[in-house]
Structure 1
């Protein structure tokens, strides 16, 4: 992979569907009180960093935009959206209960569901989408995205194989700093 500028990558805060165990994909549910607090935490984490001159880019999906507006409200610059940062498509399974699907399909874990979802995007297509997005980056940026898309971006940026996706660290209310092919998990006070 060619040289990529420094990036801060954030997952949106907890949503009502996250709290209920429902898969979202391209569907929307609002941030919970905890989700808004997680976004405020991300805002504080970035507030302690020098982000002057960073592009501000979010997934166009509502939960990511809600998070981005909280995180970036005091930052200079224009927030733009890019559909490449959208969550992996889940086809017919969007909105369904994760635990029920795991039981019905016998899938080993939630990651397996992304490959099994009828009409879903699949991990190979997500990988291609994220690779194409990374190739467009010319300036340092703060990216607000989703759980699986965040993991895929960071997997690619750190040169790991697709088989490692389920082992890439996740989390809401944290910020991942990726620079020179290395990932750092930032939390308040760290």
Structure 2
């Protein structure tokens, strides 16, 4: 089975550097263009199914990727971004001033991250829901099918965490997930990464 894991396009809050999490901001014109460029790159692949986070920025990206294909986009709450609690909607700098220690843990010491400090979601919870989702789709589809997952930066890192069977201390290893980054994974009894956080469609 071919699995294409894709981050949404650039959003308005990405530009002004606000924490998003479960809150949403719309795609910018550039974000739509990023999705269109990726859609063009993938235009000859016969997708069997598209799964998307229900948050608007992901769903709008998924609709662009779908194009004129006669398939469903299924929304799944397990594909939402990690919940950032009281940080959501705040300017990043304001969040750092108020909750600097917790944010430092989040980015640099995930094994020590105290999500309760901001009433957010733990990495444990996030990793459990992405693992559950992965296990579900590999049972559901055969090795010749093509499945698209449109999600969010931290959630995609969680998918990679599970695929690579990492230690929580290594959660952030492997680079940043940029807007519309594509990770192509093939599964046939085991996972094989074909493309990793690829943004060549934007060059």
RMSD of aligned alpha carbons: 2.3
- Which aligned pairs between 1:153-168 and structure 2 lie closer than 5 A? 153-168=159-174
- Give the structure 2 partner of residue 176 of structure 1: 183
Superposed CA offset, 1:19-58 (max 9, x none): 111011111110011111111122122225x3x2521110
1:188 and 2:201 are equivalent in the alignment: yes
- 8 Å CA contact 1:157, 1:178 repeated in 2: no
Change (3 A) 1:53 1:69: closer
Superposed CA offset, 1:132-173 (max 9, x none): 111110224100001111111122123222222212331113
1:108 and 2:104 are equivalent in the alignment: yes
- Give the structure 1 partner of residue 151 of structure 2: 145
Out of 59, 64, 71, which is 1:77 matched to?
71
Change (3 A) 1:20 1:93: same
Partner of 1:167: helix, strand, or coil? coil
Give unpaired runs (5+ residues) of structure 1.
none
- Which aligned pairs between 1:14-163 and structure 2 lie closer than 5 A? 14-48=10-44, 50=45, 52-104=46-98, 105-106=100-101, 107-108=103-104, 111=107, 115-116=114-115, 118-137=118-137, 138-139=140-141, 140-163=146-169
Give unpaired runs (5+ residues) of structure 2.
none
Change (3 A) 1:115 1:141: farther
- 8 Å CA contact 1:158, 1:182 repeated in 2: no
Partner of 2:63: helix, strand, or coil? helix
Moved more, 102-111 or 26-35: 102-111
Superposed CA offset, 1:113-150 (max 9, x none): 97445210111110111111111102241000011111
Partner of 1:141: helix, strand, or coil? strand
Q: TM-score, normalised by structure 1?
A: 0.86
Change (3 A) 1:68 1:26: same
